[in-house]
Chains A and B, each alone.
Chain A
Amino acid sequence: MTDKQDAVVIERTLDAPVDLVWQMWTVPEHFQAWYGPDGASIPVAKMDVRVGGKRLVCMEMSSPEGAMQMWFTGEYREVVENKRLVYTESMSDQNGNVASASDMGMPEGHPTTTEVRVELEDLDGRTKMVMTHAGIPADSPGAAGWAMAFDKLAAHVATSGRR
């Protein structure tokens, strides 16, 4: 789907049963406990965990201008309990309207959606978890990851900034 370089793949073995690790991703109360980056909290996590169901997550962090909220929305693409969870993620407003490339100060038609894939495997009471976070090309359904916006901006800067 994308270059290897355009995906983060992380494998962990967790000392917890697979159903509990599944809940880490699918039960808001648990998800909120670990998801936020350090110094951030997750005041909102709405999850309609079924294929086609929507998700809406708010991340709140302190910034030099006071508390800053970032909203992310997405849709569940694969839901196989205790085995596989795939969802998309885009930056959005608090109502889950995807921030378009132009809202983000980026040229039209560039990708702002990323995909998170979690694969779980029961290892006799422990759980192997493989998480893949990948960008989605602009022409695929869904389309658009603010992370990729950085990429674009940085590439733009790298080429034009050295004139």
Chain B
Amino acid sequence: MTVTIDDERLSETFAALANSTRRAILDRLSAGEATVNELAEPFEMTLPAVSKHIKVLERAGLVVRGHRAQYRPCALDAARLEEVSTWAEQYRPVWEARFDRMDGYLMQLRRKRKDRRTR
């Protein structure tokens, strides 16, 4: 897989997935579309609480909502999930960004040391 994923988008998806309720919602949607009411059923949660989770998933591009019916069924957007499916490829940009920061931090440290010496 050669999809490049930018760091910010990736953290957004990670944040969305780092919650067991939201993963359970995705799991349920993998069986087919469902209304917010249906999605709320297995959880001891209020509808607004479940709606909030769905909004997070929507923003992360993991879930899409229909426009046709008034109850706007939720459906999984598998493309987004597939994009981050190979975990090694999810992690690569995270590590690359980390090492860029390490590089910058090392330079900072060196500059500080030099300053001390010249003072």
Interface residues of A, Cβ cutoff 8 Å to B: 5-8, 10, 12, 14-16, 20-21, 24, 30, 33-35, 37-40, 61, 63-65, 68, 70, 103-106, 129, 131, 133-135, 145-151, 153-158, 160-163
Number of A-B contacts (CB under 8 A): 133
Contact across chains for A161 and B76 when beta carbons are under 8 A apart: yes
- B92 CB to nearest chain A CB (Å): 5
Can you list 15 A-B contacts with CB-CB less than 8 angstroms, sorted by A residue number? A6-B87, A8-B89, A10-B99, A20-B109, A34-B102, A34-B104, A61-B15, A105-B27, A131-B99, A148-B87, A150-B17, A153-B26, A158-B81, A161-B76, A162-B78
Are B76 and A131 in contact, with the CB atoms below 8 A? no
Which chain B residues have a beta carbon within 8 Å of chain A's beta carbons? 7-8, 10-11, 15, 17-18, 20-21, 23-24, 26-27, 29-32, 52, 55-56, 59, 76, 78, 81-82, 84-92, 94-99, 101-107, 109-110
Separation of A37 and B76 alpha carbons in the complex (Å): 27
Q: How far is it, in angstroms, between the C-alpha of A38 and the C-alpha of B81 when the chains are bound? A: 21
B18–A70 contact, CB under 8 A? yes
Determine if B87 and A37 form an interchain contact, defined as CB atoms under 8 angstroms apart: no
Contacts of A70 in B (CB 8 A): 18
In the assembled complex, the CB of B61 is this many whole angstroms from the nearest CB of chain A, namely: 13
CA distance A33 to B105 in the complex (A): 7
> A158 to B1, alpha carbons, bound, how many Å?
15
Cβ of A16 to closest chain B Cβ, rounded Å = 4
